[in-house]
Amino acid sequence: FYGVAKRNNLQLSQFLDIFLSAISILEWDTKTAEIYGKLRAEMEKEGKVMGVQDQMIAAHALANECVLVTSDKAFELVPNLILENWCSV
Protein backbone atom coordinates (compact mmCIF):
# COMPACT_ATOMS: atom_id res chain seq x y z
CA PHE A 1 0.00 0.00 0.00
CA TYR A 2 2.88 2.37 0.76
CA GLY A 3 4.31 2.25 -2.76
CA VAL A 4 0.89 2.82 -4.32
CA ALA A 5 0.10 5.70 -1.96
CA LYS A 6 3.50 7.27 -2.56
CA ARG A 7 3.12 7.18 -6.34
CA ASN A 8 -0.56 8.21 -6.38
CA ASN A 9 -1.02 6.20 -9.59
CA LEU A 10 -4.55 5.05 -10.45
CA GLN A 11 -3.39 2.20 -12.71
CA LEU A 12 -1.07 0.87 -10.01
CA SER A 13 -3.86 1.15 -7.44
CA GLN A 14 -6.21 -0.83 -9.69
CA PHE A 15 -3.54 -3.49 -10.23
CA LEU A 16 -3.09 -3.80 -6.47
CA ASP A 17 -6.85 -4.25 -6.00
CA ILE A 18 -6.91 -7.04 -8.61
CA PHE A 19 -3.86 -8.72 -7.09
CA LEU A 20 -5.25 -8.61 -3.55
CA SER A 21 -8.59 -10.06 -4.68
CA ALA A 22 -6.73 -13.10 -6.07
CA ILE A 23 -4.72 -14.01 -2.96
CA SER A 24 -5.32 -14.92 0.66
CA ILE A 25 -3.78 -12.69 3.31
CA LEU A 26 -2.79 -14.60 6.42
CA GLU A 27 -3.51 -13.08 9.81
CA TRP A 28 -0.84 -12.27 12.37
CA ASP A 29 -2.11 -14.33 15.29
CA THR A 30 -0.95 -15.46 18.73
CA LYS A 31 0.81 -18.51 17.31
CA THR A 32 2.79 -16.32 14.92
CA ALA A 33 3.67 -13.86 17.69
CA GLU A 34 4.90 -16.71 19.89
CA ILE A 35 7.06 -18.13 17.10
CA TYR A 36 8.44 -14.65 16.42
CA GLY A 37 9.33 -14.12 20.09
CA LYS A 38 11.10 -17.47 20.34
CA LEU A 39 12.87 -16.99 17.01
CA ARG A 40 14.12 -13.52 17.93
CA ALA A 41 15.32 -14.63 21.37
CA GLU A 42 17.12 -17.66 19.92
CA MET A 43 18.77 -15.64 17.16
CA GLU A 44 19.96 -13.03 19.66
CA LYS A 45 21.31 -15.77 21.92
CA GLU A 46 23.23 -17.30 18.99
CA GLY A 47 24.49 -13.92 17.77
CA LYS A 48 22.65 -14.21 14.46
CA VAL A 49 21.87 -10.78 13.05
CA MET A 50 18.63 -10.27 11.14
CA GLY A 51 16.27 -7.32 10.85
CA VAL A 52 13.14 -7.35 13.01
CA GLN A 53 10.82 -7.14 9.99
CA ASP A 54 12.61 -10.08 8.36
CA GLN A 55 12.24 -12.07 11.58
CA MET A 56 8.53 -11.27 11.56
CA ILE A 57 8.23 -12.44 7.95
CA ALA A 58 10.09 -15.65 8.78
CA ALA A 59 7.90 -16.29 11.83
CA HIS A 60 4.76 -15.75 9.75
CA ALA A 61 5.94 -18.28 7.18
CA LEU A 62 6.87 -20.79 9.89
CA ALA A 63 3.57 -20.40 11.74
CA ASN A 64 1.57 -21.00 8.58
CA GLU A 65 3.86 -23.72 7.20
CA CYS A 66 4.47 -21.67 4.07
CA VAL A 67 7.35 -21.60 1.63
CA LEU A 68 9.04 -18.20 1.69
CA VAL A 69 9.99 -16.97 -1.77
CA THR A 70 12.99 -14.66 -1.50
CA SER A 71 16.49 -14.09 -2.79
CA ASP A 72 17.58 -12.62 0.56
CA LYS A 73 20.25 -14.91 2.00
CA ALA A 74 19.57 -13.61 5.54
CA PHE A 75 16.57 -15.94 5.72
CA GLU A 76 18.95 -18.91 5.52
CA LEU A 77 19.76 -18.17 9.18
CA VAL A 78 16.27 -19.29 10.23
CA PRO A 79 16.04 -22.98 11.15
CA ASN A 80 13.26 -25.03 9.55
CA LEU A 81 12.25 -22.21 7.20
CA ILE A 82 11.57 -23.53 3.70
CA LEU A 83 12.91 -21.14 1.07
CA GLU A 84 12.58 -20.79 -2.69
CA ASN A 85 14.55 -18.36 -4.79
CA TRP A 86 12.74 -17.65 -8.04
CA CYS A 87 15.55 -15.35 -9.18
CA SER A 88 17.96 -18.27 -9.53
CA VAL A 89 15.64 -20.44 -11.63
User: Domain of 33: which CATH number?
Assistant: 3.40.50.1010
Q: Is 21 within a domain?
A: no
Q: Is 71 within a domain?
A: yes
89 pLDDT higher than 90: no
Q: How many domains does the chain have?
A: 1
pLDDT digits (tens, 9 = 90+) for 59-82: 999 999 999 999 999 999 999 999
31 pLDDT higher than 70: yes
> What does the pLDDT average to over 18-40?
97
The band of 88, judged by pLDDT with boundaries at 50, 70 and 90, is confident
Range of the domain at 47: 26-88
Q: What percent of the chain has pLDDT over 70?
A: 99
Instruction: Encode the chain in three state secondary structure.
Output: CHHHHHHCCHHHHHHHHHHHHCCCCCCCCHHHHHHHHHHHHHHHHHCCCCCHHHHHHHHHHHHCCCCEECCCHHHHHCCCCCEECHHHC
> What does the pLDDT average to over 22-42?
97
